[in-house]
Structure 1
Amino acid sequence: MELLKLSNQLCFPLYALSRKVTSHYLPLLDKIGLTYPQYLVMLVLWEENGVSVKELGYKLMLDSGTLSPMLKKLEDRELITRKRLKEDERVVIISLTETGEKLKERGAEIPEQIKCSLELTDKEVREMKALATGLLDKINKIEAVHNN
């Protein structure tokens, strides 16, 4: 069947592309001592310091079971702190430490390095992000309808 050819699938080029793009991040992140998922956590915190684990999970589309060990490692490295709210001890707030804030300077170089590594123009980056974000938004809306 023609429909079952790998070359006709939407999922495969997206999967392969994700793996390839992420692999370009790894040597850059290694220099600053972060894994790719840890980098994503730090990006959220560099943008908005002091977020709850729930909010972090929502932004990164990760569950707390995935986030917890990663946050523990970042805390062990003294890049973040985890504090329970006094008003509601179920809520854990993640904040940058001074060391975590300083790492932002080194992290700021990565987007441009990635763009150069992949030989992309600003326009190509914008177009790919728009397509990917549009598809992700569409999938999230479909899932929201089916989950309610």
Structure 2
Amino acid sequence: MTDFVEPQAYDLRILRALRRITRSIALHSRQLAAGSNITAPQLICLRAIVEKGPMTATAISREIHVSASTVVGILDRLEDKELIRRERGREDRRIVFVSATQAGITLARETPSPLQKKLADALNELPELEQATITLSLERIVDLMESGGVTPVEVSTELASPILEVPDGRIPPESGLVV
């Protein structure tokens, strides 16, 4: 299948593969934004709201694995686009619930997946065991990175973003991750 590689080279191969994945995700996110006027993190957030119904920003943060402060920025942009609305709770006015507008529901349902269709189709073609192996391997890498001190101390309590972005220098990425 693959040529034998010296064990010390695996870390470099993994790093290169992660960088290639990051670049590919960034490119797809830009294409999604150009075609739908919504970024991948915004779409993931919007889809969570549409799927789960009214939620608090904290609940959204947990659902999509992004820090609460990042979610607030995403929600601000979605609200500016009139795709969501924020409403105070009836029983406790301190709690703010976020729900999708009709335009948000329509966009969430009609916009292509934040995961590249080509990749999604290719993964679906693989046997279930291979899909599970890939998933478990990636999750293990995340666990190793998060437990091995790779996560900077100042953001170690924040949740990881499901979408990595490469900043283009004009606007900081919504995911909060700079690669």
Task: Indicate how the Cα distance of structure 1 residues 118 and 50 shifts in structure 2: closer, same or farther if over 3 A, else same.
Answer: closer
Q: Which moved more, 1:36-45 or 1:25-34?
A: 25-34
Residues 41, 56 of structure 1: 8 Å contact kept: yes
Structure 1: runs of 5+ lacking an equivalent: none
Per-residue Cα deviation, 1:14-50 (whole angstroms, up to 9, x for no partner): 2431331342243134211101211111121232121
The one-letter code sitting in structure 2 at the alignment partner of 1:61 is H
Taking the aligned partners of 1:116 and 1:21, their CA distance within structure 2 comes to 12
In the TM superposition, residue 55 of structure 1 has moved relative to its aligned partner by 0.8
Mapped pair 1:30 → 2:34:
yes
The one-letter code sitting in structure 1 at the alignment partner of 2:113 is I
Structure 1 partner of 2:21: 17
Residues 54, 64 of structure 1: 8 Å contact kept: yes
Task: Indicate how the Cα distance of structure 1 residues 129 and 24 shifts in structure 2: closer, same or farther if over 3 A, else same.
Answer: farther
Taking the aligned partners of 1:51 and 1:95, their CA distance within structure 2 comes to 7
The one-letter code sitting in structure 2 at the alignment partner of 1:115 is K
Task: Indicate how the Cα distance of structure 1 residues 110 and 125 shifts in structure 2: closer, same or farther if over 3 A, else same.
Answer: farther
SS in 2 for 1:120: helix
Q: How many residue pairs are counted as aligned between the two chains?
A: 139
TM-score, with length taken from structure 2: 0.60
Structure 1 partner of 2:49: 45
Mapped pair 1:99 → 2:96:
no
Taking the aligned partners of 2:117 and 2:72, their CA distance within structure 1 comes to 31
TM-score, with length taken from structure 1: 0.70
Structure 2 partner of 1:110: 113
Structure 2 partner of 1:122: 124
SS in 1 for 2:85: strand
SS in 1 for 2:99: strand
Taking the aligned partners of 2:24 and 2:39, their CA distance within structure 1 comes to 15
Q: Which is helix-richer, 1 or 2?
A: 1
Taking the aligned partners of 2:17 and 2:37, their CA distance within structure 1 comes to 29
In the TM superposition, residue 133 of structure 1 has moved relative to its aligned partner by 4.4
In the TM superposition, residue 9 of structure 1 has moved relative to its aligned partner by 6.0
Q: What is the aligned-residue identity percentage?
A: 20
Task: Indicate how the Cα distance of structure 1 residues 8 and 111 shifts in structure 2: closer, same or farther if over 3 A, else same.
Answer: closer
Structure 2: runs of 5+ lacking an equivalent: 1-6, 149-156, 158-179
Residues 82, 103 of structure 2: 8 Å contact kept: yes
Q: Cα RMSD (Å) of the superposition?
A: 3.5
Taking the aligned partners of 2:85 and 2:127, their CA distance within structure 1 comes to 33
Taking the aligned partners of 2:118 and 2:92, their CA distance within structure 1 comes to 45
SS in 2 for 1:44: helix
List aligned pairs for 1:66-105, cutoff 5 A.
66-105=70-109
Taking the aligned partners of 2:32 and 2:119, their CA distance within structure 1 comes to 10
